[in-house]
Amino acid sequence: MKYLCQVWFEPSVLERMRNEERKKLDRDSLGYDEDLVESGHMIHAEALQSPKSAVTIRVRNGEVSVTDGPYAETKEQLGGFILIEASDLNDAIRVAAGIPLAKLGSIEVRPVYTFG
């Protein structure tokens, strides 16, 4: 079954890190991605640019509205995602717990809906 692991964290946490700490986090994250490829769990992973570069689109009554940035009432922002294949929710939780950013933020694990 496919699961989407959404990586959430407060951008200020990363901003406060020393350059060496960020480089280590990047190495650890890429290394974990490689581990997931080798184990057969990895489908796809991407880091996202800052929420400051985002736009939010809404369509109401046929009218398109575009606003800058995400609509967020929380300090945590979506920083990336990993789409995985796991045998069940417990396997997906185990995989998500290994994501290095789980130590600094949170990982939302959500099953992918299958049509039909």
Rounded average pLDDT over 92-107: 96
Give per-residue pLDDT as tens, 41-97: 999 999 999 888 888 899 999 999 998 877 666 788 899 999 999 999 999 999 999
CA contacts within 13 A on the Cβ side of 8: 11
Q: What share of the chain is helix, strand, coil (3-state, %, to 5)?
A: 35, 35, 30
Contacts of 100 (CB under 8 A, 6+ apart): 25, 28, 29, 32
Q: What are phi and psi of 73, to 5 degrees?
A: -105, 10
Q: For the chain, what are the domain ranges?
A: 2-111
Percent share of the chain, pLDDT over 70: 97
Q: Rg (Cα) of the chain, in Å, rounded?
A: 16
CATH class of 2-111: alpha beta
* Predicted local confidence at residue 41, as pLDDT: 98
